A and B are shown apart, each in its own frame.
Chain A
């Protein structure tokens, strides 16, 4: 049973390629170029540079402007530092402004991510595995529903969901954000495809012949093989939940339950309010602090984010 794992060959470019698979392939391509062949495409380099600039400039802007005071923001160039360096003051003020509500929003966001994205991943893994490896009536119907659900944008469902949750008396509670986050059609589809590829059915049959129950087979055989896919889905759902704006916007009224996205937007709109305190400096610093955990999550999870270890390892 453990033989196929130890003799795992390098990842084969099996179809269909999930986002999880493209990363290592790109890396090998890069190595090949720098090692031997000096043939470079000018067009590609220019395009790549443009893309890099396009992605990096907003981050640089954010970093630079997080060091300015509100007065500095109003009278200095956007892409260079102002005369005063107020990053530490801004960070301190971000956490202390309005009785430290930023910390509360941060904890709310973490809660939504742990329960919502974590739960969505769990459900996607269980469902994807079941759909990939078990046969039961109605499977085709489920396929159609899942594919259909991938195509419907969450925004379109927000208002009906609001009315439904309102009837149940769940609006303005954290549940109104957590429960809809638990459903990730795309995650389910991804796990389904991934499980089909990554877990050789022969392996499951071998486990069953060895006398393992379905639960044990799932946890000891399937789960380790699925881990790259799980990390991928976890990253997707985490990013989606972390950045979720529209759903909490219509579900929540009480700012005690705001996630960071909504909280920062509320701070930003203070500038559009008669008599409101204009705190663009804290909005910018808060935004910077908000993306840091996401960057950390990407860097930490990256090493688990590899191609399926056993994909194509068994001769069929």
Chain B
């Protein structure tokens, strides 16, 4: 039921994005890009005051907004929250296409940024001073928000990947924590043999996870240069990933549970899902979603594709952007900068958010934080190292939201029928190319 609703909503989001593409391109006249804005304009706006409407589901922004209002008493932050993912983008696209009710600040995940920046739905923040902030951020997130000399948002958090594993389960069956993906497959076999109810991981076909795994394996399926796009899943990295993961699927070593469902939280809690390769933001979700398994879990570096290799990837993460139709851009930028480059970063990290800024990642306070949930482990050291090892040349499609929405109809077949992962990727590629052409992109062959 939930999945159906999700699909319906994705369809809706898609329709409205198309509508957005049609109207936004026609009506917005680049004035935002050319108008000279300076830091003093931002300061003047702060003195004058006003209100800023922020659409974001990031829970830590509540404190940040309160602090900001305290610092600038004339500014009122109107935080509209509690919706994430598809619903958020549906609402945002609807508002942009209607030209009314557009927020001053909107949270947009890295994978969805291209869609909005290409349709000129977002303000280029470089003239406001965002272009001088590049050195503050780790390469992965900065690469995601910037395009040449344009900056479409400031990174709010990042998701360098790590392998979370249930130490209790691994100890029980005396299995070593895998450091390479080959060892991972071995561990999967041993675990499932020792207890048929235990799976090394859950995977029911998740576009975000697959793209992150390709990213780590060195595959670069998407090349984007303005409206010129290349989609190709035939490189060596993609083969590494499909060969390994196909073994897990063929031998039914991964549990077919969808992520983020109650079943999933249950599996993480009762030991039937033994590992989770995910972003460094995951500890907060562990703590609130699986309180019963406190002390059972630990973090480890991502398994390597060849022993000793340290390459990592990002999974998840989002930015704060200023939509092109925002009414109060100077104030909006002031808030975005405060939250994602200023004092707000500290506040958010203290509440469990994972930073995208190098200063916070390197600080001893951050590195020495002990995670009670992970039995006192200083897990941030692993995450920070992973963040440093993320290759920055990855890019998502300018229509990644659409591509992700058809993932289950293409690659997803490998999870429910005899289709091979590699063939699934090929079908995904063809469907994405077809859609891109229909949308007027130049697809390089």
Number of residue pairs across A and B with beta carbons under 8 Å? 116
Binds A, one of B125-133, B184-192, B258-266: B258-266
Q: Is B94 at the interface (CB under 8 A from chain A)?
A: yes
Q: Is A73 at the interface (CB under 8 A from chain B)?
A: yes
Tell me which of A166, A253, A267, A269 has the highest count of chain B C-beta atoms within 10 A of its own C-beta: A253
How near does chain B come to A203, taking the closest CB pair, in angstroms?
48
* Residue-wise interface mask of B (255-287) relative to A, using a CB-CB cutoff of 8 A (1 in contact, 0 not): 000001010011011100000000101001100
Binds B, one of A33-41, A270-278, A290-298, A305-313: A270-278
Our pick among A74, A169, A267, A279 for the contact of B290 (Cβ within 8 Å) is A74
Which partner residue on chain A sits nearest B271 by CB separation? A75
Which residues in window 52-77 of A have CB below 8 A to B? 70-75
Q: Is B100 at the interface (CB under 8 A from chain A)?
A: yes
Q: Tally chain A residues at the interface, Cβ within 8 Å.
A: 33
In the complex with contacts A166-B98, A253-B80, A75-B85 CB distance below 8 A: no
How far does the alpha carbon of A274 sit from the alpha carbon of B279 in the complex, in Å?
Answer: 9
Our pick among B82, B98, B316 for the contact of A270 (Cβ within 8 Å) is B82
Residues in B whose Cβ lies below 8 Å from that of A266: 82-83
Could you tell me if B87 and A280 are in contact, using CB atoms closer than 8 angstroms?
A: no
Residues in A whose Cβ lies below 8 Å from that of B55: 253
Which partner residue on chain B sits nearest A98 by CB separation? B82
How far does the alpha carbon of A274 sit from the alpha carbon of B356 in the complex, in Å?
Answer: 14
How far does the alpha carbon of A273 sit from the alpha carbon of B81 in the complex, in Å?
Answer: 11
In the complex with contacts A75-B270, A269-B84, A275-B58, A280-B291 CB distance below 8 A: no
Could you tell me if B57 and A271 are in contact, using CB atoms closer than 8 angstroms?
A: no
Could you tell me if A75 and B269 are in contact, using CB atoms closer than 8 angstroms?
A: yes
Residues in B whose Cβ lies below 8 Å from that of A272: 84-85, 260
In the complex with contacts A74-B265, A266-B82, A276-B57, A271-B289 CB distance below 8 A: yes
Could you tell me if B291 and A70 are in contact, using CB atoms closer than 8 angstroms?
A: yes
Q: Is A254 at the interface (CB under 8 A from chain B)?
A: yes
Q: Is A111 at the interface (CB under 8 A from chain B)?
A: no
* Residue-wise interface mask of A (159-175) relative to B, using a CB-CB cutoff of 8 A (1 in contact, 0 not): 10011001101011000
Q: Is A314 at the interface (CB under 8 A from chain B)?
A: no
Which partner residue on chain B sits nearest A164 by CB separation? B98
Our pick among B87, B99, B268, B270 for the contact of A249 (Cβ within 8 Å) is B87
Could you tell me if B84 and A276 are in contact, using CB atoms closer than 8 angstroms?
A: yes
How near does chain A come to B19, taking the closest CB pair, in angstroms?
9
Residues in B whose Cβ lies below 8 Å from that of A249: 87
Which partner residue on chain A sits nearest B58 by CB separation? A275
Q: Is A255 at the interface (CB under 8 A from chain B)?
A: yes
How near does chain A come to B256, taking the closest CB pair, in angstroms?
18
Q: Is B16 at the interface (CB under 8 A from chain A)?
A: yes
Residues in A whose Cβ lies below 8 Å from that of B388: none
How far does the alpha carbon of A171 sit from the alpha carbon of B94 in the complex, in Å?
Answer: 11
Q: Is B392 at the interface (CB under 8 A from chain A)?
A: no
Q: Is B359 at the interface (CB under 8 A from chain A)?
A: no
Could you tell me if B12 and A276 are in contact, using CB atoms closer than 8 angstroms?
A: no
* Residue-wise interface mask of A (247-260) relative to B, using a CB-CB cutoff of 8 A (1 in contact, 0 not): 00110011100000
How far does the alpha carbon of A72 sit from the alpha carbon of B266 in the complex, in Å?
Answer: 9
* Residue-wise interface mask of B (114-132) relative to A, using a CB-CB cutoff of 8 A (1 in contact, 0 not): 0000000000000000000
Could you tell me if B85 and A275 are in contact, using CB atoms closer than 8 angstroms?
A: no
* Residue-wise interface mask of B (11-25) relative to A, using a CB-CB cutoff of 8 A (1 in contact, 0 not): 010011000000000
Could you tell me if B292 and A75 are in contact, using CB atoms closer than 8 angstroms?
A: yes
In the complex with contacts A74-B270, A74-B290, A255-B81, A275-B100 CB distance below 8 A: no
Q: List 16 A-B contacts (CB under 8 A).
A: A71-B290, A74-B265, A74-B293, A75-B266, A159-B16, A162-B94, A166-B95, A166-B100, A167-B98, A171-B101, A253-B83, A255-B80, A272-B260, A275-B60, A275-B157, A276-B285
